[in-house]
Structure 1
Amino acid sequence: MKVVRFHAPGDVRIEDAPEPTAGPTDVKIRVRACSTCGTDVKISRFGHHHIAPPRVMGHEIAGEITEVGGDVTDWRPGDRVQVIAAIPCGTCAECRRGRMTVCPNQVSMGYHFDGGFAEYMVVPHNVLAVDGLNRIPEGLTFAEASVAEPLACVLNGQNLAGVGEGDDVVVVGSGPIGCLHVRLARARGAARVFLVDLNRERLDLAANLVQPDTAICGADTDVVDAVLKLTEGRGADVVITATAAGAAQEQAVQMTARQGRISFFGGLPKDKPVISLDSNLVHYRELTIVGANGSSPEHNKEALRLIADGSVPVADLITHRLPLDRALDAFGIVARGEAIKVTIEP
């Protein structure tokens, strides 16, 4: 079978590999869709400290079960499934407290285990042990189901930031994560959603799909001033920085309303993780700043439900569908910002 394998930074190959076999506590799936994200591009260029090469990449996975281990009782060949990416241990102090997104023993598909840029893959028992294999609802395509993983992360972020009815929400970053944030904020009853990006072409592409109340191009205007004017000087109730930019985090503090919430959703580069923070704005405005790190198995289940019932449509966000042998082209499309979501269909 064909796989997309990471060997070293700058060395990702499409190559032949033997078809895997499920162990007694595993299941094997025929991968039908594995969507790409910016993390895949970063891994291909710079590697990752959790990846011991060679490793099959891909973590936004949906497929069809073809084989179940002898000790597996709840699944059958032919079942359509979505696979979590981040796998908590389920037994540590954080997991027992329901904080699975910050499990210190977390492992991940495409990092510690071979991922979904392959014709076939094994879903390890670690996933099954935390109920991380989800049935795809009837009527949902494999490609749509693969987007449940990033939506699950978005769901976690908005839960932590308390996005809800009547909020004015600013989303900084118009990539696939930013688009999902706009759609989910709408589904949660936000009054207005403003989308911000420095790249006019990418912003226009996203805005045409998700239709924010206002699209603000940071290359053309002062973002903080624009948000303050749109909110009659109040600022936004919630600001979500869905971009790896320290400047966006600094601006977020300046354009958040009193008792507003800020989600530092996008992590910063490892060599530049420190920002300048006006602590007095946080203090006097009673602001809340929260991080957001991945998702839990329950977030994945809810994300699938939100997609299936139409609350958060994702089909139109999949702007490119490519075969496995064009996966490297997909990384280039993502890196250049020419797409919203690129899905590989092996």
Structure 2
Amino acid sequence: MRAVVISEYGVLPEIREVAEPAVADGSVVLKVEATGLCRSDWHGWMGHDSDIVLPHVPGHELAGTIAAVGAGVSGWAVGDRVTTPFICACGACEQCLEGNQQVCPNQLQPGFNYWGSFAEYVAVPYAAVNLVRLPDDMDFATAAGLGCRFATSFRAVHQVGQVVAGERVAVFGCGGVGLSAVMIATALGAEVIAIDTNPEALHLAREYGAAHTIHASADTVAQIHDLGGAHVTIDALGSNDVVQQALQALRPRGRHVQIGLLPQGVQLDVGRLIGQELTWLGSHGMPAHAYPEMLALVATGNLNPQHLITRTIPLEQTPAALAALTNGTPAGVTIITP
């Protein structure tokens, strides 16, 4: 099969012919119909993830059709249209048995722990707990974006942040995760403030429901407080500076949800956390069993993840698109069709 192969961190990947993944017991192999280009893939390419072993194939948000079914997998057949969370949980540990597959200590992640979906085929381990059947009327490009950015934002906004109608939500960073959060919080009835340095991203945020947009600057916190302060802040980027601004922008007893990765760590103003009774919440993906609520809202038109897609590219353009993320994340979501 053809795949995007990283041989050296930070060096442009190549399209190569490599062996197709074997189907193991309890797993399936998918023919990749669509896969998303995410900033997490860039972090992996730059060497920020210790799980990656070179040579490596990135890609972790995907949708496709089942090409092979391993022994012990029931209820799934070749040709089924599916997606999967980027966290493939084991299904047997204490956290999984409690329904918390997104923090499974035995999790495997395509594109990080093993070769991912920037290829014509990809394996999905622990298929029984990680496959999500797609509605017949959902196209693969839309479904690919659900596995990481949109599902991650849905859980962060709705299930972890517990945003409700009438609250003011400030979303820092309007890439794929941030724009998803804007759309989801708006659908829940929140008054959304979108913050970014990219005018095009802010334009999309307004299209997806943001009531206010702020060009990020030293005055960002003051501008948010001029609007009444935020009940909930979301760091969809991953930045120490953003974390500090997000905490300062909160109203008393406000909630901060951290989605963006912080590879360099972060320092918190614990005194402010205590004195204002603020809550710091981490959110990491969403398990397969939680998808039905999100899919139902997509089916009714309350959520429209397909609108987030701004570019579709073939596999051949993927290495250059991945490298271009060094200069910033383009507005919207890029989908790759292998």
Same topology, TM > 0.5: yes
Instruction: Report the equivalent of 1:151.
Output: 150
Q: Is the 8 A contact 1:151 1:303 kept in 2?
A: no
Q: What are the Cα deviations for residues 280-310 of structure 1, in whole angstroms up to 9, with x where unaligned?
A: x323332211112222222444443433332
Does structure 1 residue 99 correspond to structure 2 residue 100? yes
Q: Is the 8 A contact 1:173 1:242 kept in 2?
A: yes
Amino acid of the structure 2 residue aligned with 1:81: V
Does structure 1 residue 329 correspond to structure 2 residue 320? yes
Per-residue deviation, 1:154: 1.2
Does structure 1 residue 343 correspond to structure 2 residue 329? no
Q: Is the 8 A contact 1:175 1:202 kept in 2?
A: no
Tell me which of 211, 220, 224 is aligned to 1:223: 220
> Within 2, Cα distance between the matches of 1:264 and 1:25?
33
Q: What are the Cα deviations for residues 85-130 of structure 1, in whole angstroms up to 9, with x where unaligned?
A: 1122223333333332222222211122321111122323x2x14x
Amino acid of the structure 1 residue aligned with 2:130: G
Q: Is the 8 A contact 1:148 1:300 kept in 2?
A: no
Matches within 5 A, 1:174-253: 174-190=174-190, 192-197=191-196, 199-219=197-217, 222-231=219-228, 235-253=229-247
Question: Counterpart of 2:118 in 1: which secondary structure?
Answer: coil
Per-residue deviation, 1:202: 4.3
> Within 2, Cα distance between the matches of 1:76 and 1:213?
45
Instruction: Report the equivalent of 2:31.
Output: 30
> Within 2, Cα distance between the matches of 1:288 and 1:276?
12
Per-residue deviation, 1:278: 5.2
Instruction: Report the equivalent of 1:57.
Output: 58
Question: Counterpart of 2:96 in 1: which secondary structure?
Answer: helix
Question: Counterpart of 2:266 in 1: which secondary structure?
Answer: coil
Q: Is the 8 A contact 2:85 2:285 kept in 1?
A: no
Matched positions, count: 334
Q: Is the 8 A contact 1:162 1:261 kept in 2?
A: no
Amino acid of the structure 2 residue aligned with 1:5: V
Matches within 5 A, 1:119-158: 119-124=120-125, 126=126, 128-129=127-128, 131-149=129-147, 150-158=149-157
Residues 151, 299 of structure 1: CA spacing in aligned structure 2 closer, same or farther, 3 A cutoff? farther
> Within 1, Cα distance between the matches of 2:87 and 2:292?
13
> Within 1, Cα distance between the matches of 2:73 and 2:325?
37
Residues 202, 58 of structure 1: CA spacing in aligned structure 2 closer, same or farther, 3 A cutoff? same
> Within 2, Cα distance between the matches of 1:21 and 1:284?
55
> Within 2, Cα distance between the matches of 1:200 and 1:237?
24
Does structure 1 residue 312 correspond to structure 2 residue 303? yes
Q: What are the Cα deviations for residues 118-171 of structure 1, in whole angstroms up to 9, with x where unaligned?
A: 1122323x2x14x21111112111000011112221122222222112111110
Residue segments in structure 2 that go unaligned for 5+ positions in a row: none
Question: Counterpart of 2:6 in 1: which secondary structure?
Answer: strand
Q: Is the 8 A contact 2:89 2:130 kept in 1?
A: no
Q: Is the 8 A contact 1:334 1:342 kept in 2?
A: no
Q: Is the 8 A contact 1:322 1:342 kept in 2?
A: yes
Residues 327, 101 of structure 1: CA spacing in aligned structure 2 closer, same or farther, 3 A cutoff? same
Does structure 1 residue 255 correspond to structure 2 residue 249? yes
> Within 2, Cα distance between the matches of 1:135 and 1:7?
34
Q: Is the 8 A contact 2:32 2:122 kept in 1?
A: yes
Q: What are the Cα deviations for residues 169-204 of structure 1, in whole angstroms up to 9, with x where unaligned?
A: 1101111111000111112221x100011x133433
> Within 2, Cα distance between the matches of 1:22 and 1:305?
31
Matches within 5 A, 1:272-311: 273-277=265-269, 279=271, 281-311=272-302
> Within 1, Cα distance between the matches of 2:300 and 2:37?
24
> Within 2, Cα distance between the matches of 1:330 and 1:13?
12
Instruction: Report the equivalent of 2:119.
Output: 118
> Within 2, Cα distance between the matches of 1:320 and 1:58?
16
Q: Is the 8 A contact 1:152 1:302 kept in 2?
A: no
Question: Counterpart of 1:7 in 2: which secondary structure?
Answer: coil
Q: Is the 8 A contact 1:80 1:136 kept in 2?
A: yes
Q: Is the 8 A contact 2:150 2:305 kept in 1?
A: no
Residues 15, 302 of structure 1: CA spacing in aligned structure 2 closer, same or farther, 3 A cutoff? farther
**What is the aligned-residue RMSD (CA, Å)?**
2.0
Q: Is the 8 A contact 1:64 1:77 kept in 2?
A: yes
> Within 2, Cα distance between the matches of 1:215 and 1:341?
19
Amino acid of the structure 1 residue aligned with 2:5: R
